[in-house]
Structure 1
């Protein structure tokens, strides 16, 4: 069983269903409202755990009802929550998701306790990191903390996976040299490289630029089209599964969590792991909400389209 540790965000999502984004000054009636667990880190952890990875989490919640709700949800998913601490100074993170009739979303985030994760939390969690095959992080928590976590992970032979989302223009170059696998979407890739991703040629150029910045391997996800992967010795494009999309929330997070559950520690099976992750993502977008839509291993394998990597 693959062992995955996530350093990341924990949010409670409020999903507001609307026909389209309102124009400035316009009032629109909602067609629905739901509350569900979210946060990029928590989504990725649940995706990994439901795909049968042994999963642990490093994070922070508030001493509030949302914090209790999320701790209960993560524990129910079989995730080790020993390294999730409770803050008395900030509320649990929240996201407000505007979901239109086409299944596309716009998201507003209040980071809350996610911004309170400190280097000291990494020091406390060293045993949890060292016990993992993979350490995953994204950009909804402080970058200084992620840098410290990746430094330690590399020192003990743990493979690092970075999801550079939400996109940031200012990035410590050392972080990329400590990253074994980076997984941006096309927008995040362009932010990091300045290369607009439009086709496989531009994907190759962007991935090459990231390799030159020090990462060992790259996967660029391009939504309903699929995902492009590249290392120093191989590259390829894995097409997405064609489905009717209801809600794209957590599709990228599901991809990363599911991917990590299938990857070899040396990243030698990227092609088959990406195909598995594409399948998991295709199931997520067919349901409403972030964590409620993330599939279990049995669902991913149910129709025989794929096998475990």
Structure 2
């Protein structure tokens, strides 16, 4: 089946510890539980697309270790096209060391491993996948040169290009913006991109309009319990968040991005696609883990 969505990005094994609170610098803190869970922003988003109603292919790297085998198999089990997932010899797979506290907030350290070897030529080798896709998704857990190549190639092919700028430490290169159809940052990422302290709808609107002035067609700032702010040429619109009791916010943003992309690939209007992504993300935060928390289409449809 032709993949309607292609995700170019990271695959990580998440090593997740739960504790009453996040440890302070230099502190040893007794934890409550531990789990090893397939993750990585790219892989999470690919799983979300697959579960939420669209065919998807993944382009990324794993290491030649047991984690790499598990990560690739997890995607295959979801029906994801993995011809573009390569095994890098002599390096570990990507790892994410995650601590989740009692209020469901998390602290994460990323070890790139094979993700750091995903080069532009790695994507170029699977250009046929990009050509056949309708939507292309990127994040920032792989080399920036690879992201730049994928965005430019997606624009040249006339595809719908989505960038989730995570993790983000500062502004994007100026020439990226015009290649992006939908830029989807959260509050902290929007602040890193613009310098605007984003804490509410008003500040999110300032940041979003600043990003649009740089050439992005559409900006969706995800605001957790405050919902999402969508800025486009037609104006600004607020989408309130569904009310849930959160357990673990890991992969909530990835679920939103994947759900939104899957809905677009199915031909859903962008406003309804945003609301669909929100419903999926709201369900995900009521469950533990990254990929295990991502819901299926039948759970999200109204």
Q: Give the TM-score, by structure 1 length.
A: 0.94
Match of 1:51 in 2: 52
Deviation of the 1:2 alpha carbon: 7.8
Other-structure match for 1:20:
21
Q: How do 1:74-223 residues align onto structure 2 when only pairs under 5 Å count?
A: 74-223=75-224
Gaps in structure 2 of 5+ consecutive residues: none
Instruction: Give the aligned partner of residue 279 of structure 1.
Output: 279
Q: How many residues align?
A: 301
Contact kept in structure 2, 1:229 and 1:270, CA below 8 Å: no
**Kept after mapping to 1: 8 A contact 2:200/2:226:** no
1:289 alignment counterpart: 289
Instruction: State the SS of the aligned residue for 2:276.
Output: helix
Name the CA distance, whole Å, in 2 between partners of 1:71 and 1:123: 20
Structure 2 counterpart SS, 1:9: coil
Q: Quick check: 2:54–2:265 contact (8 Å CA) kept in 1?
A: no
Cα RMSD of the aligned pairs, angstroms, is 1.5
Query: Take 1:89 and 1:208, find their aligned partners in 2: how far apart are those partners?
Result: 45
- 1:247 aligned to 2:281? no
Distance of 2:59 and 2:232 partners within structure 1: 28
8 Å contact from structure 1 (residues 2, 262) kept in 2: no
Distance in 1 between residues matched to 2:230 and 2:95, nearest whole Å: 32
Listed as ranges, the gaps of 5+ residues in structure 1 are none
CA distance in 2, matches of 1:252, 1:24: 27
Q: Name the structure 1 match of 2:269.
A: 269
Kindly state the Cα deviation for residue 250 of structure 1 after the two structures are TM-superposed: 0.2
Give the secondary-structure state (helix, strand or coil) at the position aligned to 1:263: helix
Q: CA deviation at 1:270?
A: 2.4
Structure 2 partner of 1:224 = 225
